[in-house]
């Protein structure tokens, strides 16, 4: 679960607790290097709006799967395997399971 300023958990905090809870987030803010900002600005200035029309035309979908069922099944399996690996990571363990591990 990703927490944001408007997450139920954060908005439900007592008004005195919210600033304390948000303090690490506020300390982690950083500004990108000027070279990165400049590169992004250059990209925006030089981006040809007309070229996107051709890309959009090629991206239209005919509501049919491009892959056959066996390929879709393999792709789905790989996606679910990755999600399973991510969610079985210790960083997503509940506090209850952490307490059991420390006993």
Question: Rg of the Cα trace of the chain?
Answer: 23
Alpha carbon distance 6, 18 (integer Å): 11
Chain segment 68-85, per-residue pLDDT in tens: 899 999 999 999 999 888
pTM to 2 decimal places: 0.34
The pLDDT score that the predictor gives to residue 58 is: 65
51 or 26: whose pLDDT is higher?
26
What per-residue confidence (pLDDT) applies to 63? 76
13 within 8 A of 7, measured Cβ to Cβ:
no
pLDDT band at 35 (very low <50, low <70, confident <90, very high): very high
Whether 3 and 18 have beta carbons less than 8 Å apart is answered as no
pLDDT of residue 80: 92
- CA–CA dist 94, 82 (Å, integer): 20
Residue 67's pLDDT band, with cuts at 50, 70 and 90, is confident
């Amino acid at each position: 679960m990703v927490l944001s300023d408007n997450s139920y958990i954060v908005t439900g905090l007592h008004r005195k607790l919210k600033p304390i809870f948000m303090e690490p987030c506020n300390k982690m803010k950083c500004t990108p290097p000027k070279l990165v900002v400049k590169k992004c600005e250059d990209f925006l200035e030089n981006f040809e709006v007309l070229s996107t029309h051709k890309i959009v035309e090629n991206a239209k979908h005919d509501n049919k799967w491009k892959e056959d069922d066996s390929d879709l099944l393999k792709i789905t399996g790989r996606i679910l395997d990755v999600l399973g690996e991510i969610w079985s990571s210790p960083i997503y363990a509940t506090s209850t399971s952490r307490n059991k591990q420390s006993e």
